[in-house]
Amino acid sequence: MEKLIINDFCCLRYGIGKGITYSTPLNEINLLKGKCSVPILSPYKDRLFYFYPYGDNERFTKLYYFDMETKKKVEIAKSDGYNSSPKKALWLNNDEILVIIGLNSEALRSGGDVYKYSIDSESLSPYYICEKMQIVQDIVIADDEVYLRGIIFDDDFKTESSRSFTYLV
pLDDT-based confidence at 80, cuts 50/70/90? confident
What is the pLDDT averaged over residues 38-55? Answer: 86
Give per-residue burial for 127-164: e unless 16+ CB within 10 Å, then b.
bbebeeeebbbebeeeeeebebebbebeeeeeeeeeee
pLDDT-based confidence at 58, cuts 50/70/90? low
Cβ proximity of 10 and 20 under 8 Å: no
- The reported pLDDT for the residue numbered 92 is 95
pLDDT-based confidence at 118, cuts 50/70/90? very high
What is the pLDDT averaged over residues 68-78? Answer: 90
The pLDDT tens digits of the residues spanning 7-43 come to 766 777 776 667 788 888 888 888 777 777 888 999 9
pLDDT-based confidence at 93, cuts 50/70/90? very high
CA distance 8 to 60: 36
Cβ proximity of 64 and 84 under 8 Å: no
What is the pLDDT averaged over residues 63-86? Answer: 86
- The reported pLDDT for the residue numbered 29 is 81
What's the CA angle centered on 79, arms 109 and 103, to 5 degrees? 30
- The reported pLDDT for the residue numbered 81 is 66
CA distance 60 to 80: 7
Domains and CATH numbers, the chain: 2-130 (2.40.128.660)
Strand partners, 41: 48
The pLDDT tens digits of the residues spanning 135-146 come to 898 999 988 899
- The reported pLDDT for the residue numbered 165 is 62
